[in-house]
Amino acid sequence: MTRTVYLNGAYLPETEAKISIFDRGFLMADGVYEVTSVLDGKLIDFAGHAKRLQRSLDELDMANPVTPQVLLEIHRELVTRNAIKDGLIYLQITRGAPEDRDFVFPDPTITKPTLVLFTQNKPSLADSPAAKKGLKVISIDDIRWGRRDIKTVQLLYPSMGKMMAKKAGADDAWMIEDGFVTEGTSNNAYIIKDGKIITRHLGTEILHGITRAAVLRFAEEVKMTVEERSFTLAEAQQADEAFITSASMFVMPVVEIDGVSLGQGTPGQFATRLREVYLEESRKVAI
Ligand code: PLP
């Protein structure tokens, strides 16, 4: 099926949406993005994604071509036009396409940002078979740049990390810096020990996950203790449970780290409960 996508003010068939070869997203990875999930045709955590988008743009001194209200309307229009019940909406803003390639940022009064959105239909998003099985992760060095709190489209290393995991027969990779786990290639990482949720504190070393914020809020509501601090791979391998969070995976249990099984080697009770709570509570406030 041909999707209807959004490009700079127009709704177009995906085959007709074209951008310049001089676009700085293409040439320099000079762009930011967001992924928002859709459940029952409604947007999950839209306000959080819109807020983080603005922060990423501000940190890079990049203009936002639309207000949050217009952005919401575009998201909803794409959900309707593509009849998305469960799935994802990908959004990308780049610094636009100047007349020529240059390291220097173009004049924003002349070069306008490029705004692209498209949908991804995922009928089994909430009812994922992986959530029942749990994921296997490997560890890799975190050699990404130092501003991981900005959600940029520089995704080559995370993509290489997924390939390393795939080659090792695993599902994903957790990245390690100075002996501590930073995060997964496209998700935040957590362990559970004696009923306590441990996840790395916020900083420039990790992306400030929108799902992370919601899960920690819900965890406290169900009286689980949360400790925001760094943890090592060895601590993770001795944990009772582990899981990851992201807008596309929600809460996803991790059952093996570098070949070491956690607990019974099946999704743990806390991670499973947190997934249920997250889905239940997020659906209630979806827009
Ligand atoms: N960390 C990284 C590196 C990511 O790429 C992502 C999502 O793409 C996340 C964490 C999770 O963020 P969110 O929950 O906002 O999807």
Ligand 1 contact via 182 beta carbon (within 6 Å): no
Residue-wise pLDDT tens digits, 115-157 = 999 999 999 999 999 999 999 999 999 999 999 999 999 999 9
Reference 253, options 148, 171, 140; nearest CA is 171
Out of 18, 151, 196, 284, pick the active-site residue: 151
* Residues 173, 162 contacting (CB under 8 angstroms): yes
Q: What mean pLDDT comes out for the span 45-68?
A: 97
161 CA to centre of ligand 1 in angstroms: 14
pLDDT of residue 221: 83
- HSE-CB at 279 with a 13 A cutoff on CA atoms is 18
151 catalytic, yes or no? yes
Residue-wise pLDDT tens digits, 236-266 = 999 999 999 999 999 999 999 999 999 899 9
pLDDT of residue 230: 98
Element spanning 139, H or E: strand 135-141
Q: Which residues contact 163 (CB under 8 A, 6 or more apart)?
A: none
pLDDT of residue 1: 77
